[in-house]
């Protein structure tokens, strides 16, 4: 879904919302995890709340092909929802996915 809004200073902000399920979501998550260095991965894990992962990536860095966790305003916002997964299980899942991708 694509929608537009205006920022605080009247600038146009385009919002692209994509909902992925099952295999597509897993493939995107694998791609994200594979692109993160160790520090960025640990920073991403800090965004886990209950069975959800919330992470923001710097939009300018992403344009350059790098994924850097950011707390700024010019970001790509990603939310991953686990199905009935407790917070410790989500961390374990993300860590095991990271380890599997290293092999």
| DSSP character string of 71-89 | -SSSEEEEEEE-SS--HHH
pLDDT (0 to 100) of residue 50: 79
* pLDDT of 86 above 60: no
Domain containing 48: what range?
Answer: 2-102
29 pLDDT band, cuts 50/70/90, is very high
Give the domain CATH number at 36: 3.30.1440.10
pLDDT tens-digit map of 34-67:
999 999 999 999 999 878 899 999 999 999 999 9
* Model confidence, pTM: 0.82
Tally the domains of the chain: 1
Q: With a cut of 80, say whether residue 7 has pLDDT above it.
A: yes
């Amino acid at each position: 879904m694509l929608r537009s809004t205006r920022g605080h200073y009247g600038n146009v902000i385009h919002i692209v919302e994509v909902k992925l399920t099952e295999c597509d979501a897993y493939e995107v998550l694998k791609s994200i995890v594979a692109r993160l260095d160790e520090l960025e991965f640990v920073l991403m894990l800090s965004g886990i709340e209950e069975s959800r992962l919330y992470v923001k990536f710097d939009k300018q860095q992403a344009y350059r092909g790098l994924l850097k966790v950011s707390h700024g305003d010019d970001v790509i916002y990603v939310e991953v929802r686990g199905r009935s997964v407790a917070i410790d299980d989500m961390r374990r899942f993300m860590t095991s996915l990271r380890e599997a991708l290293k092999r």
